[in-house]
Structure 1
Amino acid sequence: MRRSHVIAAAVVAAILVACAACSRTGGTGVSNVVDNYLYDLGNRDYAAACQQLTDQLRKQLGDCPATLKRHHDNLPVGEYAELRDAHVRKVTYDTKNNTKATVYPQDMKVGTGRSAKRSIAANHATNGQGLELAEVGTAWRISGGGV
């Protein structure tokens, strides 16, 4: 193979990797938003949790931190620690509108690898509904579900 072909192949490979990473801002973006939201709920930092929501949802909730506090203050004490450790294992994107995604309760886990198990605390914190997300500009935000 000519040296120019090797360089061209390397450039194409680098472009493909870059495009794969940016083609859907969502993979890690959605996961990070949900992980941060659950972590903030686990810390009872409702003002920070509100920052993970769309402006429209915050407006619907009124006093967002107070609403989240009322909604989540009845969780069993042990579940707050689990929420801080919960993470998203799978994001389901809307096939008709790639600016919308859902994280279902069964896709929020605690632990790693094969030992990861479904987070009961995340299921309770989302009323078994999971979370709906929307891409707002270049960022993902929680737009509905069991907030």
Structure 2
Amino acid sequence: QPLRQALLDQGEAEGRLKDIRWLLRVMFEPNYRLYRDQKHINYMKLHAAYITTHRPRGVLHPVDTDSPNCVAFRRAIELMGQRLFFLNESRLWWRLESVGEMFLSTFIQHSVRDQEPNKKEHPPLDELFEDSIEMMAAALSAIPMR
């Protein structure tokens, strides 16, 4: 929560709160830093399992409630919804969950590939994070075909 709030404050000071990429950074950089700095992949695995199995069954996430642990996260989602005004609420949430799963899978795969005996070269971790932000922004901002 403190890092998300700091990123929101920085984004406001720099006039970046309408930038989808910045809002994605607010949402996902804390999870990324946990992995980058502490090699902590278990939280990402747990979160991925939640998105794919528990959330569809109606198990609420703290972001769905008024939890004080998710104030900045909810604010980023609200700002994202304003930016992606052409999406209805259910499509916005569907996309957010889908890109969230994309993000988590990227780093889960990275953690496994680090253990491969014949490692293929992959981008440096910070570059992988930036590329993930770009992919997620493209997926979120695609105009629906309706």
User: TM tier, shorter chain?
Assistant: under 0.3
- TM-score where L is the length of structure 2: 0.28
- Structure having the higher helix fraction is 2
Which of the two has higher C-alpha Rg? Answer: 1
- TM-score where L is the length of structure 1: 0.28
